[in-house]
Structure 1
Amino acid sequence: MTNDDSGSGRAGGSGLVVRVPEAEPVVRAWRDRLDPAVRSGMPPHVTVLFPFLHESRFDGRTLAAVDDVIGRHQSFEAGFERCGRFPGVLYLAPEPDAPFRALTEALVDRWPETPPFGGEFAEIVPHLTIAQGQDDAVLDEAEADLRGRLPVVTRVASVDLMVHDGSRWRQRASFALR
Protein backbone atom coordinates (compact mmCIF):
# COMPACT_ATOMS: atom_id res chain seq x y z
CA MET A 1 0.00 0.00 0.00
CA THR A 2 1.33 3.34 -0.89
CA ASN A 3 0.61 6.72 0.62
CA ASP A 4 -1.13 8.00 -2.50
CA ASP A 5 -3.41 4.97 -2.84
CA SER A 6 -7.12 5.70 -2.85
CA GLY A 7 -8.34 6.14 0.71
CA SER A 8 -4.98 5.63 2.39
CA GLY A 9 -5.23 8.84 4.39
CA ARG A 10 -8.84 8.44 5.42
CA ALA A 11 -9.67 7.47 8.96
CA GLY A 12 -11.19 4.00 8.96
CA GLY A 13 -9.66 2.92 5.65
CA SER A 14 -8.11 -0.52 5.74
CA GLY A 15 -5.93 -2.96 3.88
CA LEU A 16 -4.62 -6.50 4.23
CA VAL A 17 -0.85 -6.90 4.06
CA VAL A 18 1.92 -9.43 4.54
CA ARG A 19 4.64 -7.83 6.61
CA VAL A 20 8.21 -8.58 5.55
CA PRO A 21 10.35 -7.66 8.57
CA GLU A 22 13.36 -9.43 7.05
CA ALA A 23 13.45 -6.71 4.39
CA GLU A 24 13.71 -3.86 6.91
CA PRO A 25 17.53 -3.73 7.20
CA VAL A 26 17.89 -3.91 3.41
CA VAL A 27 15.26 -1.34 2.43
CA ARG A 28 14.97 0.97 5.46
CA ALA A 29 17.23 3.80 4.23
CA TRP A 30 15.58 3.95 0.80
CA ARG A 31 12.02 3.62 2.12
CA ASP A 32 12.64 6.28 4.78
CA ARG A 33 13.72 8.68 2.05
CA LEU A 34 11.53 7.69 -0.88
CA ASP A 35 8.31 6.03 0.32
CA PRO A 36 5.79 8.39 1.97
CA ALA A 37 3.93 5.39 3.47
CA VAL A 38 6.76 5.03 6.00
CA ARG A 39 5.78 8.33 7.64
CA SER A 40 2.29 6.99 8.27
CA GLY A 41 3.59 3.87 9.98
CA MET A 42 3.41 1.31 7.18
CA PRO A 43 6.14 -1.32 7.58
CA PRO A 44 7.77 -3.16 4.64
CA HIS A 45 5.00 -5.32 3.22
CA VAL A 46 3.35 -6.94 0.23
CA THR A 47 -0.21 -5.70 -0.19
CA VAL A 48 -2.77 -8.47 -0.39
CA LEU A 49 -5.84 -6.24 -0.74
CA PHE A 50 -6.21 -2.47 -0.63
CA PRO A 51 -8.50 -0.72 -0.16
CA PHE A 52 -10.46 -3.20 1.91
CA LEU A 53 -13.54 -2.58 4.04
CA HIS A 54 -14.15 0.49 6.18
CA GLU A 55 -13.26 -0.10 9.82
CA SER A 56 -16.92 0.27 10.83
CA ARG A 57 -17.63 -3.06 9.10
CA PHE A 58 -15.22 -5.06 11.26
CA ASP A 59 -17.48 -6.92 13.64
CA GLY A 60 -16.90 -10.46 14.89
CA ARG A 61 -18.64 -12.02 11.90
CA THR A 62 -16.57 -10.10 9.34
CA LEU A 63 -13.29 -10.79 11.13
CA ALA A 64 -14.21 -14.50 11.31
CA ALA A 65 -14.95 -14.48 7.57
CA VAL A 66 -11.56 -12.91 6.81
CA ASP A 67 -9.91 -15.48 9.06
CA ASP A 68 -11.74 -18.28 7.22
CA VAL A 69 -10.71 -17.08 3.75
CA ILE A 70 -7.06 -16.57 4.72
CA GLY A 71 -6.93 -19.77 6.78
CA ARG A 72 -7.71 -21.84 3.68
CA HIS A 73 -4.29 -20.92 2.26
CA GLN A 74 -1.04 -22.68 3.10
CA SER A 75 1.88 -20.75 4.57
CA PHE A 76 4.81 -20.41 2.18
CA GLU A 77 8.31 -19.08 1.74
CA ALA A 78 8.90 -16.10 -0.53
CA GLY A 79 12.14 -14.65 -1.78
CA PHE A 80 12.88 -11.17 -3.06
CA GLU A 81 15.77 -11.49 -5.51
CA ARG A 82 15.05 -8.68 -7.95
CA CYS A 83 13.59 -5.23 -8.31
CA GLY A 84 10.71 -4.25 -10.55
CA ARG A 85 9.17 -0.97 -11.63
CA PHE A 86 5.94 0.81 -12.29
CA PRO A 87 6.05 4.41 -13.54
CA GLY A 88 7.83 6.38 -10.79
CA VAL A 89 7.86 3.34 -8.47
CA LEU A 90 10.60 0.90 -7.47
CA TYR A 91 9.69 -2.34 -5.74
CA LEU A 92 11.00 -5.75 -4.74
CA ALA A 93 9.29 -8.59 -6.59
CA PRO A 94 8.41 -11.70 -4.54
CA GLU A 95 8.94 -15.19 -5.89
CA PRO A 96 6.80 -17.09 -6.00
CA ASP A 97 4.13 -14.46 -6.42
CA ALA A 98 1.23 -16.84 -7.18
CA PRO A 99 0.37 -17.42 -3.48
CA PHE A 100 0.01 -13.66 -2.96
CA ARG A 101 -2.27 -13.41 -6.01
CA ALA A 102 -4.30 -16.41 -4.77
CA LEU A 103 -4.90 -14.66 -1.43
CA THR A 104 -6.00 -11.48 -3.20
CA GLU A 105 -8.31 -13.36 -5.55
CA ALA A 106 -9.92 -15.34 -2.70
CA LEU A 107 -10.61 -12.17 -0.71
CA VAL A 108 -12.04 -10.38 -3.75
CA ASP A 109 -14.24 -13.42 -4.47
CA ARG A 110 -15.65 -13.04 -0.94
CA TRP A 111 -15.82 -9.21 -1.03
CA PRO A 112 -16.23 -8.26 -4.72
CA GLU A 113 -16.90 -4.64 -3.75
CA THR A 114 -13.19 -4.35 -2.83
CA PRO A 115 -11.21 -4.80 -6.05
CA PRO A 116 -7.43 -4.43 -5.66
CA PHE A 117 -6.38 -0.77 -5.73
CA GLY A 118 -10.00 0.19 -6.40
CA GLY A 119 -9.94 -1.58 -9.79
CA GLU A 120 -7.36 0.88 -11.11
CA PHE A 121 -5.11 -1.85 -12.52
CA ALA A 122 -6.10 -4.87 -14.63
CA GLU A 123 -3.37 -7.17 -13.31
CA ILE A 124 -2.46 -8.14 -9.75
CA VAL A 125 1.28 -7.56 -9.31
CA PRO A 126 2.47 -8.47 -5.80
CA HIS A 127 5.27 -6.15 -4.71
CA LEU A 128 7.08 -4.53 -1.79
CA THR A 129 7.30 -0.79 -2.50
CA ILE A 130 10.69 0.86 -1.97
CA ALA A 131 10.19 4.24 -3.65
CA GLN A 132 7.34 6.09 -5.28
CA GLY A 133 6.85 9.37 -7.07
CA GLN A 134 10.52 9.46 -8.09
CA ASP A 135 12.30 10.04 -11.38
CA ASP A 136 14.25 7.27 -13.10
CA ALA A 137 17.67 8.52 -11.95
CA VAL A 138 16.68 8.19 -8.29
CA LEU A 139 15.12 4.78 -8.91
CA ASP A 140 18.27 3.66 -10.77
CA GLU A 141 20.44 4.66 -7.81
CA ALA A 142 18.26 2.83 -5.29
CA GLU A 143 17.99 -0.27 -7.48
CA ALA A 144 21.76 -0.45 -8.01
CA ASP A 145 22.29 -0.35 -4.25
CA LEU A 146 19.58 -2.89 -3.49
CA ARG A 147 20.75 -5.41 -6.09
CA GLY A 148 23.89 -6.01 -4.06
CA ARG A 149 21.90 -6.68 -0.87
CA LEU A 150 19.38 -9.18 -2.16
CA PRO A 151 17.98 -11.75 -1.72
CA VAL A 152 15.63 -11.32 1.20
CA VAL A 153 13.71 -14.43 2.23
CA THR A 154 10.62 -14.57 4.43
CA ARG A 155 8.17 -17.15 5.69
CA VAL A 156 4.62 -15.97 4.98
CA ALA A 157 2.51 -17.30 7.83
CA SER A 158 -0.05 -14.51 8.38
CA VAL A 159 -1.85 -11.56 6.84
CA ASP A 160 -2.36 -8.40 8.89
CA LEU A 161 -5.38 -6.13 8.82
CA MET A 162 -4.13 -2.55 8.91
CA VAL A 163 -6.49 0.35 9.65
CA HIS A 164 -5.75 4.03 9.15
CA ASP A 165 -6.67 6.29 12.09
CA GLY A 166 -6.44 9.51 10.07
CA SER A 167 -2.71 9.93 10.53
CA ARG A 168 -1.13 6.47 10.97
CA TRP A 169 -1.61 2.85 10.00
CA ARG A 170 -2.26 0.49 12.93
CA GLN A 171 -2.56 -3.28 13.00
CA ARG A 172 -6.12 -4.25 13.91
CA ALA A 173 -5.87 -8.05 13.57
CA SER A 174 -3.66 -10.81 12.21
CA PHE A 175 -4.90 -13.90 10.39
CA ALA A 176 -2.87 -17.12 10.20
CA LEU A 177 -2.36 -19.16 7.07
CA ARG A 178 -2.46 -22.94 7.42
Structure 2
Amino acid sequence: MYQAGDTALVITVPEVESVVGGWRERFDPMAADGIPAHLTVLYPFLRQDRIDQDVLGALAGLFGGHRAFDVSFRECGRFPGLLYLAPEPDGPIRALTRAVHGRWPEAPPYRGRFGDPAPHVTMTQGQDPAVLDTVEADVRDKLPFGAAVRSVQLVAYDGTVWSSRADFPLGGQQPS
Protein backbone atom coordinates (compact mmCIF):
# COMPACT_ATOMS: atom_id res chain seq x y z
CA MET A 1 0.00 0.00 0.00
CA TYR A 2 2.45 2.69 1.11
CA GLN A 3 6.19 2.68 1.63
CA ALA A 4 8.65 4.39 3.95
CA GLY A 5 9.29 7.86 2.56
CA ASP A 6 5.79 8.33 1.14
CA THR A 7 4.16 11.67 1.89
CA ALA A 8 0.66 13.09 1.59
CA LEU A 9 -1.09 16.42 1.96
CA VAL A 10 -4.17 16.14 4.16
CA ILE A 11 -6.77 18.23 5.95
CA THR A 12 -7.30 16.80 9.41
CA VAL A 13 -10.91 16.89 10.58
CA PRO A 14 -11.09 16.43 14.36
CA GLU A 15 -14.84 17.07 14.26
CA VAL A 16 -15.20 13.82 12.28
CA GLU A 17 -12.96 11.93 14.68
CA SER A 18 -15.33 12.67 17.53
CA VAL A 19 -18.21 11.12 15.54
CA VAL A 20 -16.51 8.12 13.89
CA GLY A 21 -13.25 7.61 15.80
CA GLY A 22 -14.34 4.33 17.37
CA TRP A 23 -15.40 2.92 13.99
CA ARG A 24 -12.15 4.06 12.37
CA GLU A 25 -10.10 2.38 15.10
CA ARG A 26 -11.88 -0.90 14.36
CA PHE A 27 -12.29 -0.73 10.58
CA ASP A 28 -9.83 1.73 9.02
CA PRO A 29 -6.18 0.58 8.91
CA MET A 30 -5.05 4.19 8.38
CA ALA A 31 -6.16 5.01 11.94
CA ALA A 32 -3.78 2.38 13.36
CA ASP A 33 -1.01 3.83 11.19
CA GLY A 34 -1.29 7.25 12.82
CA ILE A 35 -3.54 9.10 10.39
CA PRO A 36 -6.45 10.94 12.02
CA ALA A 37 -9.77 11.49 10.23
CA HIS A 38 -8.88 13.55 7.18
CA LEU A 39 -9.68 14.79 3.71
CA THR A 40 -6.89 13.95 1.28
CA VAL A 41 -5.63 16.86 -0.79
CA LEU A 42 -2.97 14.78 -2.53
CA TYR A 43 -1.61 11.27 -2.06
CA PRO A 44 1.05 10.39 -2.83
CA PHE A 45 2.90 13.68 -2.83
CA LEU A 46 6.68 13.85 -3.38
CA ARG A 47 8.95 11.29 -1.74
CA GLN A 48 10.19 12.58 1.59
CA ASP A 49 13.79 12.87 0.36
CA ARG A 50 12.61 15.37 -2.29
CA ILE A 51 11.01 17.71 0.23
CA ASP A 52 13.38 20.55 1.02
CA GLN A 53 13.02 24.18 2.07
CA ASP A 54 12.12 25.20 -1.49
CA VAL A 55 9.25 22.71 -1.62
CA LEU A 56 8.05 23.72 1.86
CA GLY A 57 8.15 27.39 0.83
CA ALA A 58 6.25 26.67 -2.38
CA LEU A 59 3.60 24.74 -0.44
CA ALA A 60 3.25 27.58 2.09
CA GLY A 61 2.75 30.08 -0.73
CA LEU A 62 0.36 27.86 -2.63
CA PHE A 63 -1.88 27.13 0.37
CA GLY A 64 -1.65 30.71 1.64
CA GLY A 65 -3.23 31.74 -1.66
CA HIS A 66 -6.40 29.74 -0.90
CA ARG A 67 -9.01 30.97 1.54
CA ALA A 68 -9.95 29.08 4.69
CA PHE A 69 -13.42 27.53 4.44
CA ASP A 70 -16.02 25.49 6.27
CA VAL A 71 -17.51 22.16 5.23
CA SER A 72 -20.45 20.16 6.43
CA PHE A 73 -21.04 16.45 6.44
CA ARG A 74 -24.63 15.53 5.63
CA GLU A 75 -24.38 12.08 4.10
CA CYS A 76 -22.37 8.89 3.78
CA GLY A 77 -21.16 7.42 0.52
CA ARG A 78 -19.60 4.16 -0.59
CA PHE A 79 -16.89 2.84 -2.80
CA PRO A 80 -16.45 -0.96 -2.98
CA GLY A 81 -15.64 -2.10 0.57
CA LEU A 82 -15.33 1.48 1.82
CA LEU A 83 -17.71 3.81 3.69
CA TYR A 84 -17.01 7.53 3.75
CA LEU A 85 -18.40 10.93 4.68
CA ALA A 86 -18.80 13.38 1.80
CA PRO A 87 -17.87 17.04 2.50
CA GLU A 88 -20.07 19.85 1.22
CA PRO A 89 -18.96 21.88 -0.56
CA ASP A 90 -16.16 19.84 -2.08
CA GLY A 91 -15.07 22.51 -4.57
CA PRO A 92 -12.47 24.15 -2.31
CA ILE A 93 -10.83 20.77 -1.65
CA ARG A 94 -10.78 19.94 -5.36
CA ALA A 95 -9.22 23.37 -6.01
CA LEU A 96 -6.43 22.61 -3.54
CA THR A 97 -5.79 19.25 -5.22
CA ARG A 98 -5.70 20.84 -8.68
CA ALA A 99 -3.33 23.57 -7.48
CA VAL A 100 -0.84 21.12 -5.94
CA HIS A 101 -0.99 18.76 -8.90
CA GLY A 102 -0.61 21.72 -11.27
CA ARG A 103 2.59 22.73 -9.47
CA TRP A 104 3.88 19.14 -9.20
CA PRO A 105 2.44 17.27 -12.21
CA GLU A 106 4.65 14.28 -11.41
CA ALA A 107 2.38 13.63 -8.40
CA PRO A 108 -1.12 12.86 -9.72
CA PRO A 109 -3.78 12.10 -7.11
CA TYR A 110 -3.74 8.39 -6.21
CA ARG A 111 -1.16 7.87 -8.97
CA GLY A 112 -3.87 8.68 -11.52
CA ARG A 113 -5.90 5.55 -10.75
CA PHE A 114 -9.21 7.33 -10.10
CA GLY A 115 -9.36 10.24 -12.53
CA ASP A 116 -10.90 13.10 -10.56
CA PRO A 117 -11.20 11.56 -7.08
CA ALA A 118 -14.13 12.62 -4.90
CA PRO A 119 -13.05 14.29 -1.66
CA HIS A 120 -14.07 12.15 1.29
CA VAL A 121 -13.30 11.10 4.86
CA THR A 122 -12.85 7.33 5.06
CA MET A 123 -14.65 5.70 7.98
CA THR A 124 -14.15 2.01 7.11
CA GLN A 125 -12.29 0.17 4.41
CA GLY A 126 -11.90 -3.44 3.35
CA GLN A 127 -15.18 -4.40 5.03
CA ASP A 128 -18.17 -6.41 3.89
CA PRO A 129 -21.55 -4.70 3.26
CA ALA A 130 -23.00 -5.76 6.64
CA VAL A 131 -20.27 -3.83 8.48
CA LEU A 132 -20.79 -0.81 6.22
CA ASP A 133 -24.54 -0.95 6.92
CA THR A 134 -23.97 -1.03 10.69
CA VAL A 135 -21.52 1.87 10.70
CA GLU A 136 -23.65 3.93 8.32
CA ALA A 137 -26.78 3.46 10.46
CA ASP A 138 -24.91 4.68 13.54
CA VAL A 139 -23.26 7.65 11.83
CA ARG A 140 -26.41 8.74 9.96
CA ASP A 141 -28.02 9.52 13.32
CA LYS A 142 -25.20 11.98 14.07
CA LEU A 143 -25.46 13.94 10.82
CA PRO A 144 -25.22 16.72 9.87
CA PHE A 145 -22.24 18.40 11.48
CA GLY A 146 -19.66 20.92 10.32
CA ALA A 147 -15.92 21.39 10.30
CA ALA A 148 -13.57 24.32 9.86
CA VAL A 149 -10.77 23.94 7.30
CA ARG A 150 -7.93 26.28 8.22
CA SER A 151 -4.78 24.43 7.13
CA VAL A 152 -3.26 21.54 5.19
CA GLN A 153 -0.74 19.17 6.75
CA LEU A 154 2.20 17.44 5.13
CA VAL A 155 2.42 13.94 6.61
CA ALA A 156 5.10 11.33 6.03
CA TYR A 157 5.30 7.57 6.51
CA ASP A 158 8.44 6.24 8.19
CA GLY A 159 7.71 2.58 7.50
CA THR A 160 5.68 2.14 10.67
CA VAL A 161 3.47 5.20 11.23
CA TRP A 162 2.43 8.42 9.54
CA SER A 163 3.30 11.67 11.31
CA SER A 164 2.90 15.36 10.65
CA ARG A 165 5.92 17.12 9.15
CA ALA A 166 4.50 20.60 8.48
CA ASP A 167 1.26 22.57 8.74
CA PHE A 168 0.35 25.15 6.09
CA PRO A 169 -2.31 27.73 7.01
CA LEU A 170 -4.83 28.67 4.37
CA GLY A 171 -5.05 32.38 3.67
CA GLY A 172 -7.82 34.92 3.36
CA GLN A 173 -10.51 35.98 5.75
CA GLN A 174 -11.58 33.43 8.30
CA PRO A 175 -15.18 32.35 7.67
CA SER A 176 -17.58 33.12 10.48
* Letter aligned with residue 99 of structure 2: A
* Letter aligned with residue 85 of structure 1: R
Q: 1:120 aligns with which of 113, 117, 122?
A: 113
Q: 1:171 aligns with which of 150, 160, 164?
A: 164
Displacement of 1:23 after TM fit? 1.2
Q: 2:136 aligns with which of 143, 154, 171?
A: 143
Which digits, 9 at most, give the CA deviation of each residue in 1:107-159, with x for residues without a partner? 00000000000100012200000000111111011101100012221110100
Which digits, 9 at most, give the CA deviation of each residue in 1:68-104, with x for residues without a partner? 1111110000011110111110000000000000000
SS of the equivalent of 2:55 reads helix
Q: 1:85 aligns with which of 71, 78, 88?
A: 78
Displacement of 1:15 after TM fit? 0.1
Percentage of pairs with the same residue? 51
Structure 1 moving runs of 4+ over 4 Å: none
The equivalent residue for 1:64 is: 57
Q: 1:41 aligns with which of 34, 42, 46?
A: 34
Alignment of 1:13-32 (within 5 A): 13-32=6-25
Structure 1 unmatched runs, 5+: none
* Letter aligned with residue 79 of structure 1: S
The equivalent residue for 2:66 is: 73
Displacement of 1:30 after TM fit? 0.8
Separation in 2, partners of 1:101, 1:115: 13
TM-score, normalization by structure 1: 0.94
TM-score, normalization by structure 2: 0.95
SS of the equivalent of 2:44 reads coil
